[in-house]
Amino acid sequence: MRCVAFMRNVNQGQRGHPSTDDIRAGFADAGCPDAALFQANGTILFESDAPADVVATAEQSIAARSGHEREILWTPLDTLIEVASKHGAVRDPRRFEFALHGGATIDTNDPDATAEADRNRCELVDAGPGWALVRNRVEGEGHATPTIERITGTRASSRGLPTVLRLVERFARGA
């Protein structure tokens, strides 16, 4: 299965962050030597029949190699393809963020969840198992990660919808 991983709080090439080589080697140690890094934000495409095991091993390996622990969340590439198909033509895509999280599917109509999003100047647009799509009220602001973390009580990591669309465009062929 082709999967996409989001490392939390990574800016490759910056001091205090795992390097591109550390990330690539960590995924190779986890049995995915052909993992492809996308952009410099800790987004990785990999193929595995046991993605949770790959991610757990990669987390440990990257921490051992770099001295920097980072959580990694993952989803099947098919999930991103579906989100891109359903939401790729939205007006003003730069206000949207796709977040991965460790919780159950968020009810986008739940009053507590919508109130939390409202407090954070965003709204819940769509959600599925371990993911949510958020629209920020103000372009250039990013509220998905903290909002989803508060709603689910689990860690989250997000990418802008334009990043997701570029990733799907590049890697969805043959998916």
- Global pTM? 0.93
Over range 107-126, report the average pLDDT.
Answer: 98
DSSP 61: H
Q: Name which of 66-70, 91-95, 147-151 the model is least confident about.
A: 66-70
CB 100 within 8 A of CB 157: yes
126 Cβ contact partners less than 8 Å away, ≥ 6 residues apart:
83, 86, 87, 108, 132, 133
- Reduced to 3 states (helix: H, G, I; strand: E, B; else coil), residue 30 is coil
Over range 39-56, report the average pLDDT.
Answer: 94
pLDDT of residue 39: 86
Region label for 103, one of left (φ > 0), alpha (ψ between -120 and 50) or beta (otherwise): beta
pLDDT bracket for residue 139 (50, 70, 90): confident
pLDDT of residue 40: 79
Place of tokens 């007006």: 91
Over range 40-54, report the average pLDDT.
Answer: 95
**Exposed/middle/buried for residue 91 (C-beta within 10 Å: 0-12, 13-18, 19+):** exposed
pLDDT of residue 160: 95
Helix (H) or strand (E) holding 164: helix 161-171
**Exposed/middle/buried for residue 31 (C-beta within 10 Å: 0-12, 13-18, 19+):** middle
